[in-house]
Amino acid sequence: MTSRIPIILDGDPGHDDAIAWMLAKANDKLEILACTSVSGNQSIEKTSYNARRVMTLLGIDAPFAMGRERPLFGEPVHAGNIHGDTGLDGPALPEPAFEALPLSAVELMAKTITDSSEPVTIVATGPLTNVGALLILHPELKPKIAQISIMGGGLDHGNWTPAAEFNILVDPEAADVVFKSGLSLTMAGLDVTLKALVFPEDFERIRALGNPIATVVAEWLDFFYGFHRSIGYAGAPVHDAVAVAALVKPEILTIKEYFVQIETSGDFCRGATIADHYGFNGQQPNTHAVVGIDREGFIDLLAEAAAWYGKEQA
């Protein structure tokens, strides 16, 4: 049997982060070495609390550390209009069963990567503050980072401004460091995640599994869809889970290679992910950009993960 991929989960839970972590925990191809929080969907205090509650709910037994209060530059941006005042409104969750370590997120990432006998993959489903800071402070660890799989960006448009997707816009300077790092980078941006729609009938398929985790996942989807329904979506786009799917089920995805740069200034385009579609820059691709998805295969993957928790308790 092939050894599991060692990963660090870095996110700002967030309904779609929580579902991504649910998928990661349930998949036998992955081994979660550590989890870290980042300021994004809500303040760092709220995302850290949510992360520990999600880990407790899912039984993720890994060290956890908090990230910075703010981006590398600029002021924090939050998405309470989508995820609610807590950052993870909806079903009741257990209180955290543990405290955060007395380390920063970057310190825990560096220790985890240093101590691992194999190169580690970072799955970043929030702003790239922690990952960018890690690469700035510990460039010597690059050979021990197998790849970075992110949810962020959009080759054609944004969702927080016309040009910029939320995770990149929150900390474009950190994203710039990551995209210039030379590391293997997979980008699940809006080009694919807006196709990763979970429809109300899919909520019911997951709810019908009947185990406690499946019920919570269905209720997260109920809440998350509330906002998206109000702006005309036919389902809930579970953006962050695509960054995990890219590791465990790449065959359901369409991936293209591009040279992608981050706009860090400008009145209209700060935070934009600019892809060189036609090779104008003469640069080799630096990004595996996910641009398509087998939606039914994605739903099967989520449902199988939710069902796993029932088997674990049986």
C-alpha distances in Å from residue 289, one per residue of 46, 63, 131, 132, 260: 30, 30, 18, 19, 9
Task: Tell me the catalytic residues.
Answer: 239
Packing angle of the helix pair 295-313, 241-248 (nearest 10 deg): 90
* Distance in angstroms (rounded) separating the CA atoms of residues 178 and 166: 16
* Distance in angstroms (rounded) separating the CA atoms of residues 243 and 168: 15
Would you give the DSSP letter of residue 142? G
* Distance in angstroms (rounded) separating the CA atoms of residues 148 and 120: 9
Q: Strands 236-237 and 197-198, how do they pair?
A: antiparallel
